[in-house]
Structure 1
Amino acid sequence: MEKVLIIDDEKFIHKVLIKMLAGEFEIKSAYEGEEGVQLANSWKPNIILLDVEMPGRSGYEVCDLLKRDKNTFDIPVIFISSRSSLRERMLGYEVGADDYLVKPCDSDELLAKIKVITQHARAKNVLRYDASNAQQTAMEAMSTSYELGKAVRFVERSYLSPDFESLGEYLMDFMRSLGLSAVAMFQGRRGNFYASSTLKAPTPLEKDLMEMMHKHDRFVDFGSRTQVNYPQVVLLVKNMPLDDRTQYGRLKDIFPFVLGATDAKVRVIDAEHALKTQSADLAGSVEAVQMTIDSIRDSFSLNMNAVSSIMSELVATLSLDMRNMGMDHDQEEYVCDKVESSAKKIHTCLQENASIETNLAEVVALLRRLNSEQRRIIDETLTVPPVEDDVSDDIELF
């Protein structure tokens, strides 16, 4: 049942109005302006019937007070007065009244006006509520757009991160832009890398927590802290907005987008470092093989010269010794043929060693080409251009 407040200094008028409205409305009475204002604030009627001429504050002054008060400004007011001039009606309109009736008024007319005005007030309240919801929705959409724009900007910057240090700084810049205090851990082949949104490094306890909860659920909430876990990335947010559940939900929607990109970039950076290390190791191995081949070649050369010298001395020695041995001509030829045959076999073996050296040199040349091609691929595909930060981090999404 809707509530009607009657403010009039005449008790007879109260009785007449109560008789007109009885049964359809809940009614309360005030007999002077101050009392009426206080009752309007405490009781919150749906409509006020207000006399113009009263002791103390006039009806116009009371209406003006009600319309200036944020607690009562939206309560409809109908003036009921014995005055019917245009000026009186204009004064009522100026102070915010919704209608003006002249005493004595007809009951059917009064009821009709009250119903029309209260229906209009209800419709206005619905519109105000819808407008408030629409404004709140618009503000949430703007906040989401702002936060998503920051996230997109971070992902763009992360593409150009050459190492964990710059990637960690970009991630912490993003967290600071949302007013969040956080620490992050990147897992790589060289061990864990930590980043912090403050000048202080993560504490030993924070590191322990991140490592111990890394294999838990994607989101781990404890108090105002939330840890987000990905295979190569852990983010610990230390001041989640628990008092603003809408923002809390938006952040939890954005974190997977940001950390999914971060996790992929950590894998890429880790692979880049491993590939570059492997390329450097291969280059060192090629040089070591070349040095070994050079050493073998020098040894082959010395051995060939030594064998040739030994064979020459052997032939010369045999030629002199055979004359003193009393050997006949056939025997001497037989021995010389054997020595010469052995010398040819030794020479053939030495030539084969030289052929092996050539093959090894070809292997080294092939390794050099492979290493050169690997360095070219690294330079063309993994080297990132210098990062040029924009003055503004905002992204236009719509």
Structure 2
Amino acid sequence: MNDHDKPLVLIVDDDLFMLDFIFDALSETCNVITAENGKTALLLAQQQHPKLVLADVKMPEMDGYELCRQIKDDFDISDTPVLFLSALDGIEDRLQGFDVGGEDFVLKPANPRVLQAKVAHVLQLIEERQQLKSQAQYATNTAMLAMVSMSETGLLIEGLKYFNNCSAPLDLAKALINALALFEVESVVELILPNDESLAVNARGPASALEVSIMHHMSSMDRITQFKSRMSITYPHSRAFISNMPVHDPDRCGRLRDNLAILVEFTEYRLEALNIMLQAKQRDITIAATVKSLTMALSNIDEKQRNGRASAAIILNSVTARIEASLVGLQLTERQETSFIDIVRYGLEDVSNTLHADADFQDQLSQAIKALQNTITKT
């Protein structure tokens, strides 16, 4: 084992012979430093942070128990285990050692192998405790992170609810501003509308020209671009500029990047759906206006055709009467008169039949117009 890898052990004893004895017993497996009294030992412990302290119980000025108590009262070295060296093995001595936070007793005169075994055992316990402490700290941090993530997920879900009742782009922009504010960030939002029109707002109202220019500049970069505490999130028709990212907390900053990007992405999809709805609504208005105009035109045609057919019937009857009246003065034979009247009558009947055939079509047209009028009235 290299000296660098050996654990540092502090030995405290006012008996120089015992100090040398323990030094020799542990020097092969440990880096050993020594002190001849409790005050010096406490100072060394505070400066060099040994893995283990072996302290004689009986020392002048500051005995081993008092040294142990002061080590445990010092926050920086309170985890340092203390192994007592004592010729006394009574229950009261052990209880006193327990009360001040000692780890174990090594009886004097110490057997080198026993001493080595006890030191190795304590050092092993220290290693296991540190591992357990690290695992416990990791578990605690993981649990805290999970709690924070659950809390932020709740904020994300709450923020998405803001988009439910948005019926116009301005409503959608304000909803995104409010959703981002749940994460304690200040933002500017821009929506790109049809015909390349732009709607840019912040929490106070319309965005400033400088804010808009910054967003336009950063929109040409990556989808998510961060410069110190400033961050932009850019989608084809939805953009957000965050001015106060918590760069002092990298973990939270990373989570915010994900959550805020989800909100802007959702805005992109909602804006697309809103545009489709508005386009459909405008198309419906155009179709309704066209149908109404067409219905009025067909209604006028229907009325004129009906009036024309009635006028044609009157004219035919008048023509028939005048022809019959004029035949009296022509001095035709009865046969000639009958033949002429038959020709005229058959021609007039053909015209009348044609008008009747058109009447069926006219009725169908009237029914279609009536149906269109009912549809317009309902809408």
The alignment's TM-score, normalised by the length of structure 1, stands at 0.75
Partner of 2:61: 56
Distance 1:274 1:80 in 2: 90
- Greater length-normalized contact order (CA 8 Å, ≥ 6 residues apart): 1
Taking the aligned partners of 2:366 and 2:159, their CA distance within structure 1 comes to 50
1:181 to 181, 186, 197: 186
Structure 1 residue 358, shift from structure 2 partner:
5.4
2:208 to 203, 211, 215: 203
Instruction: Tell me: CA distance 1:371–1:305, structure 2 relative to 1, closer, same or farther (3 Å).
Output: closer
Structure-2 residue corresponding to 1:395: none
Paired position in structure 2 for 1:271 = 276
Contact 2:192 2:198 in 1 (8 A): yes
Q: In structure 2, how many angstroms separate the alpha carbons of the residues matched to 1:153 and 1:249? A: 20
* Equivalent residue, structure 1, for 2:31: 26
Determine whether 1:89 maps to 2:89: no
Unpaired stretches in structure 1, ≥5 consecutive residues: 376-398
Shift in CA distance, 360/151, structure 1 to aligned 2, threshold 3 Å? farther
- Does the residue aligned with 1:228 lie in a helix, a strand or coil? strand
Do residues 250 (structure 1) and 255 (structure 2) align? yes
Residue 132 in structure 1 maps to residue 137 in structure 2: yes
Q: Distance in 1 between matches of 2:113 and 2:359?
A: 127
TM-score, structure 2 length as denominator? 0.78
Tell me: CA distance 1:68–1:358, structure 2 relative to 1, closer, same or farther (3 Å). Answer: farther
Distance 1:209 1:341 in 2: 88
1:390 is aligned to none
Query: Aligned AA for 2:224?
Result: F
**Cα distance in 2 between the residues matched to 1:120 and 1:279:** 80
Please list the CA deviations of residues 305-332 of structure 1 after superposition, one character each: whole Å capped at 9, or x if unmatched.
Answer: 8888999999999999999xx9776999
In structure 2, relative to structure 1, the CA distance for the partners of 1:59 and 1:308 (3 Å cut) is same
5 Å matches for 1:219-258? 219-258=224-263
Structure 1 residues 90-146: Cα deviation after superposition (integer angstroms, max 9, x where no partner): 111111110122333222221111110011101110111111112112222222222
The percent of aligned pairs where both chains have the same amino acid is 24
Deviation, 1:66, is 1.3
How far, CA to CA, are the matches of 1:96 and 1:118 in structure 2? 16
SS at match of 2:163: helix
Matches for 1:351-366 after TM superposition, within 5 Å: 361-365=366-370
Q: Work out the number of aligned pairs and report it.
A: 371
- Inter-CA distance 353–237: structure 2 relative to 1 (3 Å threshold): farther
Deviations 1:247-269 (A, max 9, x none): 23333343454444332222222
Q: Secondary structure at the match of 2:248?
A: coil
> Tell me, what secondary structure is at the counterpart of 1:184?
strand
* C-alpha contact (below 8 Å) 1:286/1:364 kept by paired residues: no
- Asked whether 1:119 is paired with 2:119, we answer no
**Aligned-pair CA distance for 1:165:** 4.3
- The AA in structure 1 aligned to 2:156 is A
Give the match's secondary structure for 2:206. Answer: coil
C-alpha separation in 2, matches of 1:301 and 1:19: 131
Query: Per-residue deviation at 1:274?
Result: 2.0
Mark the CA change 1:282 to 1:366 in structure 2 (over 3 Å): closer, same or farther.
farther
Amino acid at match of 2:212: K
Q: How well do the aligned residues superpose, as a CA RMSD in angstroms?
A: 4.0
- Alignment deviations for residues 243-296 of structure 1 (CA, whole Å, 9 cap, x no partner): 333223333343454444332222222222222222233333333333334444
Once residues 339 and 219 of structure 1 are traced to their aligned partners in structure 2, the CA distance between those partners, rounded to angstroms, is: 91
Aligned to 1:172: 177
* Among 296, 315, 322, the residue aligned to 1:291: 296
Residues 176 and 156 of structure 1, relative CA distance in 2, 3 Å threshold = closer
User: 2:157 pairs with 147, 152, 162, which one?
Assistant: 152
Match of 1:70 among 70, 75, 86: 75
- Give the secondary-structure state (helix, strand or coil) at the position aligned to 1:158: coil
